[in-house]
C-alpha cells in the first residue's frame, strides 16, 4: 500500500514572516490528519524557520529546486548537501523551471541523481504543454520526460513523480480525474518497464495543476492517483488543510473496502 501524499508548492510567495504566519495557521490541523504524508515546500529563505516550526510534528519539509553539484563556485546556487540538513524532499523539473530557467531533461536528470545521492527524496515533475496535449502527444512527451529524467537512476522507492500538465498549472483549468488517472497509470507502466513492477507499485505518483478543495476528491478517488502537488491552494491554510483531510478520508475509505 502506498501512503497518500500531498505537497504544497508555495512557489515564489511569502516572506519569512509570512511563511511563519502561514505555517502557524495550518500546523495544528495538519498535524492531526493521519494516513497522508504531508509536505510543504516554502522558498529557500524560509526553510530554516519553517524547519524549526515543524520539529516534532508529522509535517515534512521540501525545497522547490536545487543545483546538482554538492559545493563549489556556483554563485547563488543551493546544493543538495545544504538542503539535506533541512529537508526530506525536493521538487525537481517543475515546468516553471523548465520554461523560465531553461532546465532541460538532462539537467533535471543530474538533479535527480544528486538529490538521491544526498538522501533527498525527489518530487520529479513531468507534463505536456497545451499544444502537445491538443496534438494528442501527451504520452509521448511524458514518456520522454520520465525516461530522460530517470536515465541511469537506480530504482528507488524514494522517488515521487508529479504529473502536472502545463496547461493546468495556475490556470484554474484542472485536468479531469480520468485524464490524470490515465496518464498516471501510463507513468507507472514506464517505471515498471524502466525499473520493475514491484518498485513501480511503490512509487507515489501525484497529479498537479489547479487542485483545490473543490476538486481534490475527483483526483484522489482514483486508486492510481496517490495525491497532489498543490500550488495556489497551498497558500491558504484552510484550503490546504481541507485538501489533505479529504485525501485522508477518501483513501482510508478505499483501503477499507
Ligand atoms: P497550481 O500549481 O496548483 O497553482 O496550479 C501547481 C504546481 O505548479 O505545482
Nearest atom, ligand 1, residue 233 CA: 3
User: Catalytic one among 103, 164, 218, 239?
Assistant: 164
- Position 41 scores a pLDDT of 99
- Position 1 scores a pLDDT of 85
- Position 46 scores a pLDDT of 98
Nearest atom, ligand 1, residue 212 CA: 3
- Position 255 scores a pLDDT of 87
Q: How far is CA 219 from CA 77, 93, 150, 184, 246, in A?
A: 35, 22, 25, 11, 11
Question: CA-CA distance, 23 to 10, in Å (whole number)?
Answer: 11
> In this predicted model, what pLDDT tens digit does every residue of 45-96 receive, in sequence order?
999 999 999 999 999 999 999 999 999 999 999 999 999 999 999 999 999 9
Residues 6 or more apart whose CB falls under 8 angstroms from that of 144 comprise: 105
Measured by CA distance, the residue closest to atom 7 of ligand 1 is 231
Share of the chain above pLDDT 90, in %: 98
CA 33 distance to own-chain centroid: 19
| 222 assigned to active site | no
- Position 257 scores a pLDDT of 78
Share of the chain above pLDDT 70, in %: 100
- Position 42 scores a pLDDT of 98
- Position 256 scores a pLDDT of 85
Distance 212 CA to ligand 1 centre (A): 10
Name the 3-class secondary structure at 165: coil
b/e 207-240 (16+ beta carbons within 10 angstroms → b) = bbbbbbbebbebbbbbebbbbbbbbbbbbbbebb
Domains identified in the chain and CATH numbers? 39-228 (3.20.20.70)
Distance 89 CA to ligand 1 centre (A): 17
45 close to 82: Cβ distance less than 8 angstroms: no
| 96 assigned to active site | no
Q: Is 1 exposed, middle or buried (0-12, 13-18, 19+ CB in 10 A)?
A: exposed
Site residues for ligand 1, CB cut-off 6 Å? 9, 164, 169-170, 208-211, 229-233
Nearest atom, ligand 1, residue 232 CA: 4
**What is the full per-residue pLDDT of the chain (257 aa) written as tens digits?**
899 999 999 999 999 999 999 999 999 999 999 999 999 999 999 999 999 999 999 999 999 999 999 999 999 999 999 999 999 999 999 999 999 999 999 999 999 999 999 999 999 999 999 999 999 999 999 999 999 999 999 999 999 999 999 999 999 999 999 999 999 999 999 999 999 999 999 999 999 999 999 999 999 999 999 999 999 999 999 999 999 999 999 999 988 87
> In this predicted model, what pLDDT tens digit does every residue of 142-156 receive, in sequence order?
999 999 999 999 999
pTM for this prediction: 0.98
Amino acid at each position: 500500500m502506498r501512503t497518500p501524499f500531498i505537497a504544497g508548492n508555495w512557489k515564489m510567495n511569502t516572506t519569512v514572516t509570512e511563511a511563519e504566519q502561514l505555517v502557524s495557521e495550518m500546523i495544528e490541523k495538519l498535524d492531526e490528519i493521519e494516513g497522508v504524508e504531508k509536505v510543504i515546500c516554502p522558498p529557500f529563505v524560509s526553510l530554516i524557520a519553517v524547519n524549526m516550526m515543524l520539529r516534532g510534528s508529522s509535517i515534512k519539509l521540501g525545497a522547490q529546486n536545487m543545483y546538482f553539484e554538492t559545493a563549489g563556485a556556483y554563485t547563488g546556487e543551493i546544493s543538495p548537501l545544504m538542503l539535506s540538513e533541512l529537508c526530506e524532499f525536493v521538487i525537481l523539473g517543475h515546468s516553471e523551471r523548465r520554461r523560465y530557467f531553461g532546465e532541460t531533461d538532462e539537467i533535471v536528470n543530474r538533479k535527480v541523481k544528486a538529490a538521491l545521492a544526498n538522501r533527498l527524496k525527489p518530487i520529479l515533475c513531468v507534463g505536456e504543454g497545451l499544444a502537445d496535449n491538443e496534438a494528442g502527444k501527451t504520452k509521448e512527451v511524458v514518456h520522454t520526460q520520465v525516461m530522460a529524467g530517470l536515465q541511469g537512476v537506480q530504482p528507488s522507492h524514494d522517488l515521487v513523480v508529479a504529473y502536472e500538465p502545463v496547461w493546468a498549472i495556475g490556470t484554474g483549468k484542472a485536468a479531469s480525474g480520468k485524464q490524470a488517472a490515465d496518464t498516471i497509470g501510463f507513468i507507472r507502466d514506464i517505471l515498471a518497464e524502466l525499473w520493475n513492477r514491484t518498485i513501480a507499485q511503490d512509487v507515489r505518483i501525484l497529479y498537479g495543476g489547479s487542485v483545490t478543495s473543490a476538486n481534490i476528491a475527483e483526483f484522489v478517488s482514483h486508486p492510481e492517483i496517490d495525491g497532489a502537488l498543490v500550488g495556489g491552494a497551498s497558500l491558504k491554510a484552510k484550503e490546504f488543510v481541507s485538501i489533505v483531510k479529504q485525501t485522508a478520508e477518501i483513501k482510508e475509505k478505499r483501503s477499507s473496502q
